[in-house]
Amino acid sequence: DVKVTQSSRYLVKRTGEKVFLECVQDMDHENMFWYRQDPGLGLRLIYFSYDVKMKEKGDIPEGYSVSREKKERFSLILESASTNQTSMYLCASSLWGSYNEQFFGPGTRLTVL
């Protein structure tokens, strides 16, 4: 079974802190994604990566950056956390190509105080 793990289920940070969210997948998938999920807004793509060191902006990249140094790991970075970044963050991975199932991790609930 594909497994996508996220470093924390719950995280509480203070405004202005630098925050790292880590995601690891164990199925040698080329594509990895970061989404945020907010009530009434569904899932919105922040960034995705189709290869090591490659990244593409999604629909809401402002305030975020990403890092993919190894194929299995995709990190989301909040350079200076703000209260409007309080949200559920979901990581996903898929095989290379557009039509492949995305496998999601359980999510990280981030609260910025």
Partner 1 sequence: GENVEQHPSTLSVQEGDSAVIKCTYSDSASNYFPWYKQELGKGPQLIIDIRSNVGEKKDQRIAVTLNKTAKHFSLHITETQPEDSAVYFCASLGGSNYKLTFGKGTLLTVNP
Instruction: Give the nearer residue to partner 1 in terms of CB position, either 16 or 21.
Output: 21
The binding site for partner 1 (CB under 8 A) comprises 4, 31, 40-45, 48, 50, 56, 58-59, 90, 92, 98-99, 101-102, 104-107
Least distance (Å) between residue 82 CB and partner 1: 23
| Residue among 77 and 95 whose Cβ is closer to partner 1 | 95
Residue among 58 and 63 whose Cβ is closer to partner 1: 58
CB of 86 closer than 8 Å to CB of 72: no
- Least distance (Å) between residue 113 CB and partner 1: 23
